[in-house]
Structure formats: C-alpha cells, structure tokens
C-alpha cells in the first residue's frame, strides 16, 4: 500500500526496512485508544472550525465502523502501513475519502502515539488495581483464618522467634498495599494530555487542547509541546511499580516453594494450582510460584531497557521511543497474570497447621523469651543473653529443647530461674506477649487485620474514582 508519507520518496521501501520499522504486530493492542483519540481530535477540529461538521461526523462514523471490524476480527493489519495509527487512518480514508484525509490536520503521530499510550496506561492502571485489590483481599482472608496458627519466624532462614502465619501474611499485605499506592501515583503521570503538541512545536491551527482533554477525561494538558511528545516518565513509573510488585511476589514465591517442600511441609498447594513431573510420579511442583519468581527478571529488564532507551536521547521524538511498547505490554501482561493466578492459589492451598506448630515447639525460637524472662528478674539483657546462650548450648549437647530442661539444670546457669520459666517458654505465650505495636500478638494482629480491611475499603474507593475518570 502507498505510504501516507510517501510524497517525497521515489522508491518503494525495502521489505526488510518495512518489517524492521513496523510496530503494528504489537501496537495493534492500542486500537481502542487510537480510535477514541481520533474521534476526540475530529470533534475538536470541527468545533474550532478547522474541518467541517460533516467531515467530523463522517470521520466519527467511519471510525466506529473500523472499531466494529477490528473487534469482529475483520480488520487486516498491514505491516507496510507500519503502525496502528496509519493502519486505521489509511483504512478510514479508503472508506470515507477526503474527510478521512483531513483527520490528521494539526496532529502528528508523535502526539498521537503519546495520547494513545497515556489512555492505555490509565486503563491498565485500573485493571491492574482491580487485580491487586483482589490479591490483597485474598491475603487478608487467609491471614484472618490463621490468627492462632503458630509458626517460626525466620532470619537468615534460621528459626528466629515464634510468630503466627497471620503475621507473616500481613507482612505481604503491607508490601502490597504500598504497591497499590505506587500504582495510584502512576495514574497521575499518565493523566496528562499530550495531543496538540504536534510533531514537536504545536500547530498553526486554532486548536483547543483543553476540549480534547475534557472529552477524554484528562486532568492536565501538557504545558510544553516538546515535553509532551518525548515524555515517557509515566511508562517508567509503571515499570518501576511493576518491578517492585514482582519483587514482592517473587519473595513470596520463594517462601511458597520452601513451604511446600517436604522439608518444611507448611503448605500444600491445591491440585489445580500445582503441576506434576513427566518422569517422577510422586512429584507435585509449585510451578506457578517458580514462574512468578522467574518472570520477575524480565520485568526488571523492561525497566532497565526503558531507562537505557531514554538515556542520552535528544529531544524530542526519536524512533527509539517506539521501544517503549513491548516491554511495557509484557510487564502489564506478566503482572496481571501473576496477580490473578496467585490470588486463587493462595485461597485454595492447605495450611498444615500442625506441622507449623511442631516446628515452633521443637526448636529454640523461644530463646529470646527466656532471656527476656531473666531481664524481668533484674538481670541486664546482655548478661541474660549470655546465660541463655549457655543454656542453649547445654540443651543441644543433651539433645533437648529448652522446655525439656529441668529447673535444677537451669539453676546451674542462674539462680534467677524459677518454676514460672515454663510459661515463658510456651510458644503461645511468646507470641501473645509480643504486644508491641506492629507485633504478632493475637490482639495486635486483630488490629492489623481490621486496619487492613479499612485500607482495602479506601483503596476500592480510590479505584472507583479512577474508573469514573477513564
Ligand atoms: N509507531 C511509532 C511509535 O510507536 C509511532 C510514532 C511514529 N512517529 C514518527 N515520527 N515516526 O513510536
């Protein structure tokens, strides 16, 4: 097909150049935004007397027809028309003639693609926020069911202090709610309207950028035409949000893999959310968690790739900027898939409460509590730490845990030990006594759960507001 920009050219484009230059294979997913943006542009052009009302009507009607065709799978995307913008515009002109050829008045693909991407990112912010909320909800639901489920908390992957499974999951809830906040701030960067910046320096036509912004629900119009066509900060913001979210999910995935191993045995994934081995009949593998962990790398890669693309790029539009799409699209797909599958995997897994309890009863994670016990009897903490350290070494030698030692044995290490030390050692007590703000005590977890519910309500309200501003 003839190029829309072919006027000054006397040769056809080399086939390899067409293939290399084209973005249609991936930017066709912007068709809805492109059509919506073009309709708003056409209406504004007519309103400002730049094209006739009849032309604008023909354009809008023609675009509606193209939208229908694309959605029905009846649109042929042509590589030699390079991208979604020229595919749609060429088809429009084919259908409605001169009116179609007037659509691009006072517009460049540089501001057009920027507009499409802003609209697209806003839509995806909302869709990802919906999935994120669902995931946070799943975390809270499982956490709520386990306020009394004891387990060892770990540092250095060594058993450290008794906690509850609820507390552990709430830690992830807290990360995820920060991710939600970060996602909301992506919206602000995307909620800026670039159209009317033209190729770089605006236009000589008396356009009304604010009308376009109003029709498309944008809060702000880019105040500088050069910034408008070269800004990709909102894409970086989305990728940064995605990288951080995936990092959280990846940490969680690592724990899911550990917990579902025979060595830990803390959880068992539902059969519908695990996979088998083609050779080893006994295997039940946590592929989903592993894949989420694995896919984190490519999302990091997309962030770094975008930063690198932008680094050293002179103002304003350069074709390098076409590279903003595939990484973003892949990050969006990856994040959405990960969130969706994870939420259901969580709520369907079995938590082996007894196994967790056994782990916390048969170990030394109550040692800090024994030191605290001595501190309460008046011993300075450092000395208490040393005394309990000796008790632990003694117990290990005798193949015992701290609860198995007799009072007489304890007395050899300090005269401050008395009968009540057994209470101090009970994991239930260790958890219940950790009443400091943010700690794992049952009462504290209850407060955190209640607060979590409030956060979710506020987040759904924020989401509803965004949905209205799409
Ligand atoms: N496909 C291009 C992109 O994604 C659209 C903008 C092209 N602009 C240009 N002057 N070549 O960036």
Distance from the alpha carbon of residue 113 to the mean position of ligand 1, in angstroms = 7
Which atom from ligand 1 is nearest to the alpha carbon of 325?
4
Question: Which tens digits make up the pLDDT trace of 330-368?
Answer: 999 999 999 999 999 999 999 999 999 999 999 999 999
Q: Are residues 132 and 78 in the same domain?
A: no
Q: Are residues 227 and 338 in the same domain?
A: yes
Quote the pLDDT of residue 227.
98
Separation CA 228–CA 173 (nearest Å): 36
Q: Are residues 24 and 166 in the same domain?
A: no
- Is residue 404 in a domain? no
- Is residue 6 in a domain? no
Structure-token pair, residue 263: 């060595």
Report percent pLDDT > 70 for the chain: 100
pLDDT confidence bin for 283, thresholds 50/70/90: confident
Q: Are residues 244 and 122 in the same domain?
A: yes
Structure-token pair, residue 454: 């409030």
Q: Are residues 163 and 276 in the same domain?
A: yes
Separation CA 367–CA 392 (nearest Å): 8
Q: Quick check: 3 pLDDT over 90?
A: no
Average pLDDT, the chain: 96
| Residue 44, domain extent | 15-105
Separation CA 113–CA 234 (nearest Å): 14
Distance from the first to the final alpha carbon of the chain: 35
Could you count the other beta carbons within 10 Å of the beta carbon of residue 285?
A: 15
Q: Are residues 182 and 60 in the same domain?
A: no
Residues 6+ apart with CB under 8 A from 464: none
**Domains in the chain: how many in total?**
2
Report percent pLDDT > 90 for the chain: 94
Which atom from ligand 1 is nearest to the alpha carbon of 317?
10
Single pTM value for the model: 0.95
CB-based burial of residue 431 (10 Å sphere; 0-12 exposed, 13-18 middle, 19+ buried)? buried
Distance from the alpha carbon of residue 55 to the mean position of ligand 1, in angstroms = 26
Question: Which tens digits make up the pLDDT trace of 83-95?
Answer: 999 999 999 999 9
Q: Are residues 315 and 344 in the same domain?
A: yes
Spatial contact of 290 and 257, defined as CB atoms under 8 Å apart: yes
Separation CA 366–CA 359 (nearest Å): 12
Quote the pLDDT of residue 178.
98
Average pLDDT over every residue of 216-239 = 98
Quote the pLDDT of residue 165.
98
Domain at 84, CATH number: 1.10.275.10
Q: Are residues 263 and 336 in the same domain?
A: yes
Dihedral of alpha carbons 425, 426, 429, 434, sign: positive
Residues lining ligand 1, judged by CB closer than 6 Å? 23, 27, 83, 109-110, 113, 317, 319, 321-322
Question: Which tens digits make up the pLDDT trace of 289-300?
Answer: 999 999 999 999
Distance from the alpha carbon of residue 403 to the mean position of ligand 1, in angstroms = 70
Average pLDDT over every residue of 393-398 = 97
Distance from the alpha carbon of residue 116 to the mean position of ligand 1, in angstroms = 11
b (16+ CB within 10 A) / e for 435-458: eeeeebbbebbeebbeebeebbee
Average pLDDT over every residue of 215-244 = 98
Question: Which tens digits make up the pLDDT trace of 408-417?
Answer: 999 999 999 9
Which atom from ligand 1 is nearest to the alpha carbon of 321?
12
Please identify, among 61, 88, 105, the residue that sits at the C-terminal boundary of a domain: 105
Q: Out of 21, 310, 319, give the residue to mutate to test ligand 1, the one with the largest number of ligand atoms within 8 Å of its CB.
A: 319
- The set of catalytic residues is 156, 277
Quote the pLDDT of residue 147.
95
Q: Are residues 136 and 282 in the same domain?
A: yes
Quote the pLDDT of residue 81.
96
Q: Are residues 129 and 242 in the same domain?
A: yes
Q: What is the largest CA-CA distance in the chain?
A: 101
pLDDT confidence bin for 4, thresholds 50/70/90: confident
Closest CA to 196 of 188, 187, 205: 205
pLDDT confidence bin for 2, thresholds 50/70/90: confident
Q: Are residues 176 and 325 in the same domain?
A: yes
Which atom from ligand 1 is nearest to the alpha carbon of 83?
1
Q: Are residues 170 and 292 in the same domain?
A: yes
Structure-token pair, residue 58: 């023909």
């Amino acid at each position: 097909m003839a190029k829309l920009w072919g006027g000054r050219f006397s040769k056809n484009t080399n086939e390899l150049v067409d293939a290399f230059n084209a973005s249609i294979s991936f930017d066709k997913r912007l068709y809805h935004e492109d059509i919506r943006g073009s309709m708003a542009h056409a209406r504004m052009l007519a309103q400002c007397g730049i094209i006739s009302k009849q032309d604008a009507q023909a354009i809008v009607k023609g675009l509606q027809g193209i939208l229908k065709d694309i959605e029905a799978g009846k649109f042929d995307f042509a590589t030699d028309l390079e991208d979604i913008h020229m595919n749609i515009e060429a088809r429009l002109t084919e259908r409605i003639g001169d009116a179609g050829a007037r659509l691009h008045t006072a517009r460049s693909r540089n501001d057009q693609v920027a507009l499409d991407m802003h609209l697209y990112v806003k839509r995806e912010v909302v869709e990802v926020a919906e999935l994120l909320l669902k995931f946070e909800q799943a975390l809270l639901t499982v956490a709520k069911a386990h306020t009394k489920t004891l387990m060892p908390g770990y540092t250095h992957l060594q058993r450290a202090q008794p906690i509850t499974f609820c507390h552990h999951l709430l830690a992830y809830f807290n990360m995820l709610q920060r991710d939600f906040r970060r996602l909301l701030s992506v919206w602000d960067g995307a909620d800026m309207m670039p159209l009317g910046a033209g190729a770089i320096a605006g236009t000589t036509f008396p356009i009304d950028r604010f009308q376009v912004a109003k029709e498309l629900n944008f809060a702000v119009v880019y105040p500088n035409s050069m910034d408008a066509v070269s800004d990709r900060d909102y894409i970086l913001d989305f990728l940064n949000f995605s990288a951080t979210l995936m990092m959280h999910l990846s940490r969680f995935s690592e724990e899911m893999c550990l917990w579902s191993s025979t060595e830990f045995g803390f959880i068992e994934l539902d059969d519908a959310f695990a996979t088998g081995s083609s050779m080893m009949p006994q295997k039940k593998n946590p592929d989903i968690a592993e894949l989420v962990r694995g896919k984190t790398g490519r999302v990091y890669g997309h962030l770094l790739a975008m930063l690198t693309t932008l680094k050293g790029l002179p103002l304003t539009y350069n074709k390098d900027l076409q590279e903003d799409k595939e990484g973003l699209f892949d990050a969006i797909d990856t994040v959405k898939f990960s969130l969706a599958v994870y939420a259901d995997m969580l709520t369907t897994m079995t938590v082996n409460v007894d196994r967790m309890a056994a782990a916390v009863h048969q170990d030394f994670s109550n040692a800090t509590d024994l030191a605290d016990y001595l501190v309460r009897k008046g011993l300075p903490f450092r000395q208490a730490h040393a005394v309990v350290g000796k008790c632990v070494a003694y117990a290990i030698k005798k193949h015992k845990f701290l609860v198995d030692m007799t009072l007489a044995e304890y007395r050899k290490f300090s005269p401050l030990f008395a009968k009540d030390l057994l209470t101090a050692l009970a994991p239930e007590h260790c958890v219940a006594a950790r009443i400091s703000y943010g700690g794992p005590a049952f009462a504290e977890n209850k407060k955190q759960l209640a607060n979590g519910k409030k956060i979710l309500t506020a987040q759904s309200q924020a989401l509803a507001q965004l949905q209205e501003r799409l």
